[in-house]
Amino acid sequence: MKVFKKAILPLKFKANAVACGIKRKNRLDLALFYSEVPAKAAVKFTSNKIQAAPLQLAKNNLKLNCNFQAIIANSGNANCFTGKPGLKDAQETQSILANELGIKKEAIFVSSTGVIGKRLQIDKIKIGVPEVVKGLSISGIDKAKKAIMTTDTFTKELTAKLKLGGKIVTICGVAKGAGMIAPDMATMLCYIFTDIEISKKLLEQALDTAVENSFNCITVDGCMSTNDTVIVLANGAAGNKPVNASGMDYKEFSDGVNLICLELAKMMVQDAEGATKFIQIKVAGARNARDAKKAALAIANSNLFKCAVYGENPNFGRIVAAVGASGAEVKEECFRVKVSDLKKKNINVDVDLNIGKSEAVVYSSDLTPEYIRINAEYN
Q: Could you tell me which of 220, 128, 140 has the C-alpha nearest to residue 183? A: 220
**How far is residue 28's CA from residue 222's CA, in Å, rounded to a whole number?**
29
At CA 146, angle to CA 144 and CA 147, rounded to 5?
Answer: 65
What is the identity of the amino acid at 80? Answer: C
Q: Could you tell me which of 49, 350, 7, 361 has the C-alpha nearest to residue 212? A: 361
| Choice between 194 and 227, CB closer to its own copies | 227
| Choice between 83 and 247, CB closer to its own copies | 83
- Find the helix packing angle between 122-134 and 83-101, rounded to 10°: 20
Least distance in angstroms from the C-beta of 136 to its own copies:
32
Least distance in angstroms from the C-beta of 93 to its own copies:
19
**Residues of the shown chain interacting with its own copies in the complex, contacts defined by CB under 8 A:** 47-51, 78, 80-81, 83-84, 115-117, 181-184, 221-226, 302-304, 307-308, 310-311, 313-318, 320-325, 327-330, 332-333, 335, 367-369, 371-373, 375-379
At CA 332, angle to CA 330 and CA 335, rounded to 5?
Answer: 75
Least distance in angstroms from the C-beta of 305 to its own copies:
9
Q: Could you tell me which of 265, 262, 254 has the C-alpha nearest to residue 204? A: 254
CB burial class (10 A; 0-12, 13-18, 19+) of residue 48? middle
| Choice between 139 and 340, CB closer to its own copies | 340
Q: Could you tell me which of 111, 154, 118, 135 has the C-alpha nearest to residue 19? A: 135
| Choice between 60 and 303, CB closer to its own copies | 303
| Choice between 245 and 376, CB closer to its own copies | 376
Least distance in angstroms from the C-beta of 272 to its own copies:
12
Least distance in angstroms from the C-beta of 324 to its own copies:
3
> E strands within the chain?
2-4, 13-18, 30-45, 67-77, 108-115, 156-164, 167-176, 189-194, 229-234, 278-286, 336-339, 346-352, 358-365
Burial 96-108 (b: 16+ CB within 10 A, else e): bbbebbebbbbbb
For residue 125, the surrounding DSSP H or E stretch is helix 122-134
What is the identity of the amino acid at 302? Answer: S
Least distance in angstroms from the C-beta of 144 to its own copies:
25
**How far is residue 204's CA from residue 369's CA, in Å, rounded to a whole number?**
40
Least distance in angstroms from the C-beta of 182 to its own copies:
7
Please pick, among 187, 194, 219, 226, the residue that the annotation labels catalytic: 187
| Choice between 122 and 337, CB closer to its own copies | 337
Least distance in angstroms from the C-beta of 295 to its own copies:
10
| Choice between 32 and 116, CB closer to its own copies | 116
| Choice between 129 and 319, CB closer to its own copies | 319
Burial 205-231 (b: 16+ CB within 10 A, else e): bbbeebbebbbebbbbbebbbbbbbbb
**How far is residue 144's CA from residue 16's CA, in Å, rounded to a whole number?**
5
Verify whether residue 194 is a known catalytic residue.
no
Which residues are part of the catalytic machinery?
187
